[in-house]
Amino acid sequence: NRPHTSLIMVHRWMLVQFLTHRAYKITGVEKTVVSPLNFGIGTDLKYFFSLSMKGAFYTGGGIEVSWGGSHVDNIENIRSWQQKDVELNVSGNLGYRWILYPSNTIISLGVLPFLSKKLKNEWYDADQPITVYQGDKRWLGGCMLELSIGKQF
């Protein structure tokens, strides 16, 4: 049960991200609908400090590119906006992974500090899509809680 490093392929489907949808619902001023086609692909590198039959602490990081869009109804101006973006996400990772036998189900609980940069951030009026506005493309940072479920093959 020695320490080891794993390279992990990541696919995120934004429709499943419950907290993202809840955050948009409670803003109040605008009604945002996140496209079900939003997704991200990338890779994580994780170092497991020791691997027992039950689980292990890990640390690591990853990089991901995500593509997305949303529709915003601004209640104050009675306008509808469409948004399309491409993001580069870089993250660290620290947590614990459990392995449930005999199903080989993996459950990870951790913390992900991250930096994110929009490579493309375009907005346009849904009624007048001719004019395209460029949104903010600065680096943004934050921290998320991770709860992931997967299968070990």
Q: What is the average pLDDT score of the chain? A: 81
Is the pLDDT score of 110 beyond 70? yes
pLDDT at 26: 55
Name the nearest CA neighbour of 112 among 147, 151, 67. 147
pLDDT for 61-71, tens place per residue? Answer: 999 999 987 76
Are 122 and 132 in contact, with CB atoms under 8 Å apart? yes
CA dihedral 21, 27, 28, 34 (to 10 degrees): -30
Q: Give Dmax over CA atoms of the chain in angstroms.
A: 61
> From CA 71, how far away is CA 31, in angstroms rounded?
8
pLDDT for 9-68, tens place per residue? Answer: 888 776 555 555 555 555 554 566 667 678 889 999 999 887 676 889 999 999 999 998
Is the pLDDT score of 141 beyond 90? yes
